[in-house]
Structure 1
Amino acid sequence: MAPGGGTPPQEAVDAVAYFNEAWTPYHAVLATCRRLIDAGYEINERDAWTLKPGGKYFFTRNMSAVCAFAVGGSHVPGSGFVVVGAHTDSPCPKLKPNTKASSERFLQVRTQNYGGGLWYTWFDRDLGVAGRVVVKRAGVDEKARHALVKIDRPVMRIPSLAIHLNREMNNGFAVNFQQHMVPIIANAAEAALGVGSVDAPEPKRAKASDEGASEKNAGRHHPALLELVAEAAGCDPADVCDFDLQLCDVQPSTIGGAKNEYIFSGRLDNLASCYASLAALIKATSDDGSNLAEETGIRMLVHYDHEEVGSDSAQGAGSSMTEDAMRRVCRALGGDDVEGAAERSRRKSFIVSADMAHAVHPNYADKHEPGHRPRFGDGVVIKHNANQRYATDAVTAWLFRELGERAGVPVQEFVVRSDLGCGSTIGPILSTRTGIRTVDVGAPQLSMHSVREMCGCDDVKHSVAHFTAVYEGFTKLDETLMVDGAVGNLCRPCD
């Protein structure tokens, strides 16, 4: 650490390592799966499930979403699920299907906006490329394979226009994504001659036998881009069938601040929630220190894709993924033999929708509702909205707050100003599809949807502790709560 700096909590150090692996939703799921396997989780969604109390399992969808769960050692049919949900995607420029563009002797790459980013922050950054490639190796076999690629050196750049050519630039710059967000990848003349920079590794050259096979991509992508992608995928350019790639800032995530109290990173929204929920699940289902053996329910996390664009996909929160998992778990654990087991299970369940929250900005404090200004270091934020942009209500807020207080973890509240619009999360979608009680929460952060964001190290620690407390304490706390059972003949006698 830097001289004079403090020692950040281990949770923050581990989170930074996770962020540096998780450049894209695909890489985030891979990083999560590696940690789940190390913690003893196993399964495949396409296999028949044989589950047992105390067992730990996971599956992926599209390799951009993942569901993991552990069955309580004292499970009985009809027991509830305790779920923490998050999302793996973040706003970014994604490559278009036909990327090939050029202007003024520069080779460029066409991109499209994914989500609602602060696009001006992407200018003048050193950009790499990462994502998924579909590879089919000619002459090897007839199988098409999914491969992850991560080009972690600067290969592209979106340059700003000099102030001398637009004196009004500092008075406001409206980014036209179609016109302005076309990064430079190479000098046309040098690319044609196969000349590289002195420090850059020699690009992989297409073999003569590849020329015919490469015709399918010749009109769509520059050879310079295909060579970079093929090298990262470990194949020949002609083997690249298609890809889903995005631009990424190559500057690593890091711990910073005078006292090492902050995390500076891209994609904190929402990888910080992914990491915290993962660390909490592993802690709450470990063989050492957790109370999983006494648990009657199922502890689950689900990391979805496509939240930033509405969650409507086969691997988004609007899909059948959560319901499929719950239904199969109930059946595999004998729920089909007990009347209403699956339905009763949902009535006993609880979902925590974890998505980052807006910390109060010291230079724009007036943008926050005066009585609800989340601050770094003060714990996870419970989000409220009367119009159901967040799924929180009095009961779910109390459950989450009470579990944190019992664990000694601070908590704070957020509601947007009444004269501003409010974003939304996976919470309302999940509560609508499943009928399960849901609370919306998140750690506070600044620079949301920028290429580079920041949060507090202590809030990562608080998030892990709070989510762990939810996993370990919800079932017992819920037994003391009376809501729908407090009417008619079901009314509990007053003490």
Structure 2
Amino acid sequence: MTQQQFNDGLLEFIDSSVTPFQAVTTMVDALVAAGFNRLDEGDSWQLERGRGYYITRNDSSIIAFRYGNKSELVHGVRMVGAHTDSPCLRVKPNPDLRKHGYLQLGVEVYGGALLNPWFDRDLSLAGRASLTNSEGRLISVMVDFKRAIAVIPSLAIHLDRDANSKRTVNKQTDIPPVLALIEEDDDLNFDGILSQQVELDNPGVKVGKILDWELSFYDTQPAAITGLKQQFVSAARLDNLLSCYTGLQSLLGAGEEVTSLLVCNDHEEVGSNSAAGAQGPMLKHLLQRLFPKPEDFARVIERSMMISADNAHAIHPNYSDKHDGNHGPKINAGPVIKINTNQRYATNSETAALYRHLSDQVGVPVQSFVVRSDMGCGSTIGPITATELGVRTMDIGVPTFGMHSIREMGGVEDAFGLSRVCKAFFDTENLPWC
């Protein structure tokens, strides 16, 4: 695969993966097309060496793996982890707001969203809805309006002269999106709007009663290659769909000798504390089923490694003082090893050295990021996975601008480079500690 082919696929993947539910659906489609087989966590499993398998949980988290021909007791498991969720605006359970002739929806902020960029964007809505159908059966379905159905209008500067210096965003009152103009006797409501869309998106489904939903607004502007020299990738949800796609392509290209695994968890942006999150037992349960004897499990973990892939902060030319002077990653200068001595990242010298060695072998540059000593540091699924499993782990990320904005920006070279290193990692039969 060329860099251009990789990036074309990345743009398509991001545009189709507008929520974690759609992201998992998109990954499942790619896995099935590559011959991977679905496993149900409630069934007994009969696995064959050399084949690919996957499980999903909550429709929003996924683990896919190639069950290698060589013994994991000797060679361990190669793991790459990412997350499917991004900061966004979620529709509340009783969302209908009718004010001054406008229909609006109440929303809740999911994760640490950068809110100002959400204003004046063409927004659509997608996710999962649960309902009874015309036969009274309880089902859950995917929903995606796809078209622009809402906007959060800014307050004109004429009415807020301090907007450019002092404006703040009230999460309760300032961000309900506007959907329509309505008359006083108009009975238009969200239940009816959603019921109609469910039936449009799911032919053959007749809605009896909408019972609940997990729906997120998203920007309808497509992902794009941008810049005067076409050097940048601009898109929503680069954090962290970029890593999901990178891990997926690496897994699809991996060989069949060593067991290789991709885990993409939901709920990272809100702490990972869920059955489908990295703090939950999903990955551990799968590995325990592959290696049910406690001694075998411990031996496999000792010979394994996890690469936690989540975007890094590129040094911003307008705010360079926000970085440590010696650790300001640049876009298109290579993936970034993320290091924090207080274990906000799971990287240690041993795992970082292996990554640097693999990068040298495939000719991909590498950078380092350490947060300023006087600033707080974010975290990833890396330390959580290391704690839950006891597996050697490192944190890596592609440098980006605008993290947690409605539209983020990275480089055309970095994700492709990371995919090459991850594929080399998947294909490495003997780690130094094996």
State TM-score, norm by structure 2. Answer: 0.95
2:15 equivalent in structure 1: 20
2:224 equivalent in structure 1: 254
Paired letter, 1:36: L
Alpha-carbon separation, structure 1, partners of 2:167 and 2:410: 26
Alpha-carbon separation, structure 1, partners of 2:297 and 2:58: 26
Alpha-carbon separation, structure 2, partners of 1:366 and 1:236: 57
TM-superposed deviation, 1:460: 1.6
Alpha-carbon separation, structure 2, partners of 1:225 and 1:326: 39
Alpha-carbon separation, structure 2, partners of 1:104 and 1:74: 67
1:487 equivalent in structure 2: none
**Aligned: 1:39 with 2:34:** yes
Deviations 1:173-193 (A, max 9, x none): 211110101111111219828
| 1:324 to 1:222, Cα distance in 2 relative to 1, 3 A | closer
TM-superposed deviation, 1:478: 2.1
Alpha-carbon separation, structure 2, partners of 1:440 and 1:36: 25
CA contact (8 A) 2:236 2:408 kept: yes
2:279 equivalent in structure 1: 318
Equivalent of 1:408, from 352, 359, 363? 363
1:27-426 correspondence runs (5 A): 27-44=22-39, 45-75=41-71, 77=73, 79-138=75-134, 140=135, 142-189=136-183, 192=186, 221=190, 223-224=192-193, 226-234=195-203, 235-236=205-206, 238-285=208-255, 292-293=256-257, 295=258, 298-331=259-292, 336=293, 340-426=295-381
Alpha-carbon separation, structure 2, partners of 1:21 and 1:225: 20
TM-superposed deviation, 1:226: 4.6
CA contact (8 A) 2:303 2:431 kept: no
Alpha-carbon separation, structure 2, partners of 1:193 and 1:321: 44
Alpha-carbon separation, structure 2, partners of 1:161 and 1:111: 18
Alpha-carbon separation, structure 1, partners of 2:246 and 2:261: 13
Paired letter, 2:336: V
Aligned to 1:29, the other structure's residue is in SS state helix
Stretches of structure 1 lacking an aligned partner (at least 5 in a row): 1-6, 195-217, 286-291, 481-495
Stretches of structure 2 lacking an aligned partner (at least 5 in a row): none
Aligned to 1:98, the other structure's residue is in SS state strand
Instruction: Answer with 1 or 2: which has the greater Rg.
Output: 1
| 1:143 to 1:229, Cα distance in 2 relative to 1, 3 A | closer
Deviations 1:206-247 (A, max 9, x none): xxxxxxxxxxxx7xx464455445544455564322211010
Alpha-carbon separation, structure 2, partners of 1:320 and 1:383: 25
CA contact (8 A) 1:378 1:410 kept: yes
Alpha-carbon separation, structure 2, partners of 1:225 and 1:282: 36
Equivalent of 1:447, from 402, 418, 424? 402
Alpha-carbon separation, structure 2, partners of 1:154 and 1:244: 18
2:432 equivalent in structure 1: 478
TM-superposed deviation, 1:299: 0.6
State TM-score, norm by structure 1. Answer: 0.84
CA contact (8 A) 2:247 2:262 kept: yes
| 1:76 to 1:360, Cα distance in 2 relative to 1, 3 A | closer
Paired letter, 1:450: S
Alpha-carbon separation, structure 2, partners of 1:135 and 1:94: 18
Alpha-carbon separation, structure 2, partners of 1:366 and 1:191: 56
| Matched length | 431
TM-superposed deviation, 1:143: 2.5
Alpha-carbon separation, structure 2, partners of 1:340 and 1:247: 47
Deviations 1:9-49 (A, max 9, x none): 21111100100110000000011111111111113222211
- 4+ residue runs over 6 A deviation: none
Alpha-carbon separation, structure 2, partners of 1:163 and 1:59: 50
1:493 equivalent in structure 2: none
Alpha-carbon separation, structure 2, partners of 1:359 and 1:224: 41
- Give the percent of matched residue pairs that are identical in Structure 1 and Structure 2: 40
Alpha-carbon separation, structure 2, partners of 1:367 and 1:93: 27
Alpha-carbon separation, structure 1, partners of 2:418 and 2:103: 44
CA contact (8 A) 1:8 1:260 kept: no
TM-superposed deviation, 1:385: 0.4
1:430 equivalent in structure 2: 385
Moved more, 38-47 or 302-311: 38-47
Paired letter, 1:319: G
| 1:167 to 1:283, Cα distance in 2 relative to 1, 3 A | same
Q: Over the residues paired in the alignment, what is the CA RMSD in angstroms?
A: 1.9
| 1:161 to 1:351, Cα distance in 2 relative to 1, 3 A | same
Aligned to 1:153, the other structure's residue is in SS state coil
Paired letter, 2:245: Y
